[in-house]
Structure 1
Amino acid sequence: EKFSTWVGRHHFESPLLNASDNRMRPNLFSGLSMEYQPGKLKLTGAWFTHLISRGSLEWLSVEESIGFYPTGRNPTGSDKNYHHHLESKGIGVLGIEFQTKDLQLKSWTYLSEGIFTTTFGEASGNLALANGSRFIFGAQGFYQTALGDGGNPEPSYAYTLPGEYTYGAGFRTGIHLRESELTLNYLGISDNGRFLFPREWGREKFFVSMQRERFEGMGGVNALGMLYDQTFIQDKLKVSLGASHVQTPDLENIGLNKYGLPNYYHFTGLVDYRFTGFFKGLDLQLLVAHKKEDRDRKIPLEYVLNRVNMTNYNLILDYRF
Structure 2
Amino acid sequence: MSPLFLKAQNNHQQFESIDSVKHGSFNPNEAHSFHDWFKKGHVSGLFRSNSIQTYRPKSEIFSAASGLGGRIYYHSAYWHGFQMGIGGIYTYNILSTDLSDSPETPYIPKWERQLFDLENPDNKHDLDRLEELFIKYRYKDSYIKIGKMLVNTPLVNPQDSRMKPSAFQGIWLDWNEGHRFELNGGFFNKVSPRSTTEWIPTNESIRLYDHLLDPENEDASIKTRGLIILGGHYIPNETIRFHSWQYYIDKVSLLSFNQIEYHRTKTKLGFQYLYQHSLGENHYLNLNHQAHLLSGHLKWINDKWQLSYNQTLSLTGDALKFPAEWGAEPFYTFISRHRIEGLDNINSKAIKIDLQPFDGWNALNIGVYGIHTRFGTDLKGNSLTQFSIDLQTHFRGDWKALKLRLLNSYFHSNGITEGSFLSEPIFHSQMILNYQF
Same fold (TM over 0.5): yes
How far, CA to CA, are the matches of 2:396 and 2:182 in structure 1?
Answer: 32
Deviation of 1:276 (Å): 3.0
How far, CA to CA, are the matches of 1:282 and 1:32 in structure 2?
Answer: 33
The residue identity in structure 2 corresponding to 1:219 is D
Native 8 Å contact 1:211 1:289 kept in 2: no
Q: Does 1:320 align with 2:436?
A: yes
Deviation of 1:275 (Å): 1.9
185-194 or 61-70: bigger deviation: 185-194
Deviation of 1:300 (Å): 4.9
Name the residue aligned to 1:85: 221
How far, CA to CA, are the matches of 1:277 and 1:42 in structure 2?
Answer: 37
Give unmatched runs, 5+ long, in structure 1: 73-78, 129-133, 151-157, 254-260
- Aligned pairs (5 A) from 1:22-37: 22-37=161-176
Which deviations, in whole Å up to 9, do the C-alpha atoms of 1:39-75 show, x marking residues without a partner?
Answer: 1112111100001111111011000111210169xxx
Native 8 Å contact 2:389 2:409 kept in 1: yes
- Aligned pairs (5 A) from 1:164-243: 164-231=289-356, 232=358, 233-243=360-370
Q: Percent identity at matched positions?
A: 22
Give the direction of change, closer, same or farther, for the CA distance of 1:312–1:215 in structure 2 (3 Å limit).
same
Secondary structure in structure 2 of the residue aligned to 1:69: helix
Q: Does 1:104 align with 2:241?
A: yes
Say which structure, 1 or 2, has more relative contact order (CA 8 Å, 6+ apart). Answer: 2
Q: Does 1:142 align with 2:274?
A: yes
Give the direction of change, closer, same or farther, for the CA distance of 1:306–1:294 in structure 2 (3 Å limit).
closer
Give unmatched runs, 5+ long, in structure 2: 1-139
Native 8 Å contact 1:170 1:187 kept in 2: yes
Which deviations, in whole Å up to 9, do the C-alpha atoms of 1:139-192 show, x marking residues without a partner?
Answer: 000100001234xxxxxxx21111211111011112101131100000001343
How far, CA to CA, are the matches of 1:300 and 1:16 in structure 2?
Answer: 28
Name the residue aligned to 1:293: 413
Deviation of 1:292 (Å): 0.8
Native 8 Å contact 1:191 1:221 kept in 2: no
Secondary structure in structure 2 of the residue aligned to 1:290: strand
Name the residue aligned to 2:374: 247
The residue identity in structure 2 corresponding to 1:288 is N
Native 8 Å contact 1:43 1:97 kept in 2: yes
How far, CA to CA, are the matches of 1:308 and 1:238 in structure 2?
Answer: 30
Native 8 Å contact 2:411 2:422 kept in 1: no
Deviation of 1:239 (Å): 0.6
What is the root-mean-square deviation of aligned Cα atoms in Å?
Answer: 2.1
Which deviations, in whole Å up to 9, do the C-alpha atoms of 1:56-100 show, x marking residues without a partner?
Answer: 11011000111210169xxxxxx873x342111000000011234
Give the direction of change, closer, same or farther, for the CA distance of 1:241–1:80 in structure 2 (3 Å limit).
closer
Deviation of 1:127 (Å): 2.1
Deviation of 1:205 (Å): 1.3
How far, CA to CA, are the matches of 1:221 and 1:101 in structure 2?
Answer: 33
Which deviations, in whole Å up to 9, do the C-alpha atoms of 1:180-230 show, x marking residues without a partner?
Answer: 110000000134312100000101110011111111111201011100112
The TM-score with structure 1 as length reference comes to 0.85
